[in-house]
């Protein structure tokens, strides 16, 4: 059989195929991280599983790189590649909610905003991240955690099944009952095992949440972090909260003369009974004097979209992550030394809690192995001007170097950058061998390698 040409592919898919000759190519090849400047030979804007099958087949038959793009948020820019073909799922964003069974069917290119809007209409939600433009695809396949994780677990813990296009060109439905080994690998193994065209999630009742954002002066950094470490260990699980470092944006609750100053902050989200919200977040006020605060009940999707404006597409990005069982005094000292040096308003370091329901899944039950970690830290370098690349990546690296001796060897795959490929084994610990075996079963030629790669 003749190897298909790009014209053949264009004739086979229902979506559009954008090549370097086409108007709109620069738009089509762009990903969220503005630092990433790659030139694929074609971007296929898939509209259904058939288009994904055709694109995967095309890459396999030509022996070229295949990048899979969900929400496009990967810091290393794995949603694109040089010379190869991109399966862009960005037009596959449909969400169908079944309020009776409390489940949602979510297409592989949906964003958290798509998902949250659809489920919120029924007073339901699945635990996701903290920025609504993030893709459900990459987030779920890497694990996924945000404001609701302590109560509801990781996003992948709420996955019931997935429709997967595999490297050999099949569409499999993976769940606890069918292709259970593949289903295991999808829950943490990132994009290594196929293209998920549709996710099925279990939903939970979440409607209004009580939100508290507290800005403390930097002199209180150690007190705030020590208090957070103690309180979050035993706080009710409907409380999500993370501390971080933040340059004050021009928000109405911050006096104008403090815009641009750096603070240690805590973002808290209470998803339990509304009348208990204030009591749950009060300890953050008691921990240290509060310079400014914003508290309000709000619909869950409103919280999810709250930080979007700080993180528009096209900014430069460089990220590092760590897991830690303990937030030790030495780790706190490292945070106190590096967090206050956060260079721009878009950059931050957040320390997310991954205890509670995340710990009730055994480390070997899904590919996501760090079930004993209590904290997942992200040092997210995000800045507008490419001229500042060196200074900003240096801030991220210096911070990470200081924190690493007080952290676990592995990190959350979705917080790692492209230069972290060497940490993949540490990331999966005892699950790594099984992941390699499953990679040999489902993708022996490593077609899906534009990712944090598990080599067959």
What are the residues facing 270 on neighbouring strands? 210, 239
Of these, 59, 89, 281, 408, which contacts ligand FAD (CB under 6 A)?
89
Tokens of 167: 């490297």
Interacting span for ligand FAD (CB under 6 A) from 133-141, 171-179, 386-394, 434-442: 133-141
In the complex with ligand FAD, which residue's Cβ is closer, 221 or 348?
A: 348
**Contact between 142 and 237 (Cβ < 8 Å):** no
Residue 283 interacting with ligand FAD (CB under 6 A): no
320 part of the interface to ligand FAD, by CB under 6 A: no
Mark residues 50-79: x for contact with ligand FAD by CB under 6 A, - for none: ------------------xxxxxxx---xx
Q: Does 15 bind ligand FAD (CB under 6 A)?
A: no
Question: Rounded to an integer, what distance in angstroms lies between the CA atom of residue 224 and that of residue 376?
Answer: 17
d(CA 10, CA 289): 61
Smallest distance, ligand FAD to C-beta of residue 57, A: 16
Query: Which residue's CB is nearer to ligand FAD, number 248 or number 454?
Result: 454
Contact call for residue 108 and ligand FAD (CB under 6 A):
yes
Which residue stretches of 169-264 are H helix? 180-186, 221-234
389: helix, strand or coil: helix
Distance, in Å, from the CA atom of 370 to the CA atom of 323, rounded to the nearest integer, reads 8
Answer yes or no whether residue 431 interacts with ligand FAD by CB under 6 A: no
> Nearer Cβ to ligand FAD, position 311 or 447?
311
From the list 40, 84, 144, 353, which residue makes contact with ligand FAD (rule: CB under 6 A)?
144
- Please, are residues 196 and 162 in contact by the beta-carbon 8 Å criterion? yes
As to burial, measured by CB atoms within 10 angstroms (0-12 exposed, 13-18 middle, 19+ buried), residue 212 is buried
Among 123-131, 210-218, 323-331, 433-441, the segment contacting ligand FAD (CB under 6 A): 123-131
Position 129 contacts ligand FAD (CB under 6 A)? yes
Q: How far is the CB of 377 from ligand FAD (least distance, A)?
A: 12
Q: How far is the CB of 358 from ligand FAD (least distance, A)?
A: 11
List the one residue out of 357, 306, 89, 376 whose CA is nearest residue 202.
357
Angle between helix 277-287 and 221-234 (nearest 10): 150
Provide the total of helices (H) and of strands (E) in the chain, helices listed first. Answer: 14, 18
Size of the site for ligand FAD (CB under 6 A): 32
Binding mask 178-217 for ligand FAD (x = CB under 6 A): ------------xx---xx---------------------
Rounded (5°) CA angle 382-384-390: 70
The footprint of ligand FAD (CB under 6 A) covers: 32, 68-74, 78-79, 89, 108, 129-131, 134-135, 137-139, 141-142, 144-146, 190-191, 195-196, 311, 414, 451
């Amino acid at each position: 059989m003749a190897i298909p040409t790009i014209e053949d592919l264009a004739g086979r898919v229902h979506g559009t195929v954008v090549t370097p000759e086409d108007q709109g190519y620069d738009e089509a090849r762009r990903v969220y991280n503005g630092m990433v400047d790659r030139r694929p030979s074609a971007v296929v804007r898939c509209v259904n599983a058939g288009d994904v099958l055709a694109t995967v087949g095309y890459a396999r038959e030509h022996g070229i790189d295949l990048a899979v793009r969900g929400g496009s948020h990967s810091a290393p820019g794995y949603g694109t590649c040089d010379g190869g073909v991109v399966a862009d799922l960005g037009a596959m964003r449909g969400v169908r909610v079944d309020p009776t069974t409390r489940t949602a069917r979510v297409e592989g290119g949906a964003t958290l905003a798509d998902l949250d809007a659809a489920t919120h209409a029924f007073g339901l939600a699945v635990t996701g991240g903290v920025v609504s433009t993030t893709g459900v695809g990459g987030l779920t396949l890497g694990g996924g955690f945000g404001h609701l994780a302590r109560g509801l677990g990781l996003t992948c813990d709420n996955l019931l099944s997935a429709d997967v296009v595999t490297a050999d060109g099949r569409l499999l439905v993976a769940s606890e009952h069918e292709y259970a080994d593949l289903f295991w690998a999808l829950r943490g193994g990132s994009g290594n095992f196929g293209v998920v065209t549709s996710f099925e999630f279990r939903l939970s009742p979440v409607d209004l949440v009580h939100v508290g954002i507290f800005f403390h002066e930097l002199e209180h950094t150690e007190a705030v972090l020590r208090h957070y470490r103690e309180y979050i260990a035993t706080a009710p699980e409907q409380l999500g909260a993370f501390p971080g470092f933040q340059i004050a944006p021009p928000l109405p609750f911050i006096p104008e003369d403090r815009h641009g100053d750096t603070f240690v902050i805590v973002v808290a989200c209470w998803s339990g009974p509304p009348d208990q919200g204030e009591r749950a977040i009060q300890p953050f006020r008691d921990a240290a004097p509060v310079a400014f605060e914003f508290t309000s009940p709000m619909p869950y999707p409103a919280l999810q979209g709250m930080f979007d404006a700080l993180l528009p597409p096209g900014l430069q990005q460089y990220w590092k992550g760590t897991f830690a069982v303990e937030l030790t005094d030495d780790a706190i000292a490292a945070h106190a030394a590096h967090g206050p040096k956060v260079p721009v308003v878009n950059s931050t370091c957040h320390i997310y809690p991954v205890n509670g329901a995340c710990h009730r899944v055994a480390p070997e039950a899904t590919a996501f192995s760090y079930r004993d970690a209590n904290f997942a830290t992200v040092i997210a370098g995000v800045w507008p001007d490419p001229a500042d690349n060196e200074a900003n990546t240096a801030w991220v690296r210096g911070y990470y170097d200081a924190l690493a001796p007080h952290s676990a060897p592995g990190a959350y795959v979705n917080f790692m950058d492209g230069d972290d490929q060497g940490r993949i084994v540490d990331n999966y610990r005892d699950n790594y061998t099984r992941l390699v075996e499953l990679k040999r079963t489902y993708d022996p030629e490593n077609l899906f390698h534009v990712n944090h790669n598990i080599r067959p």
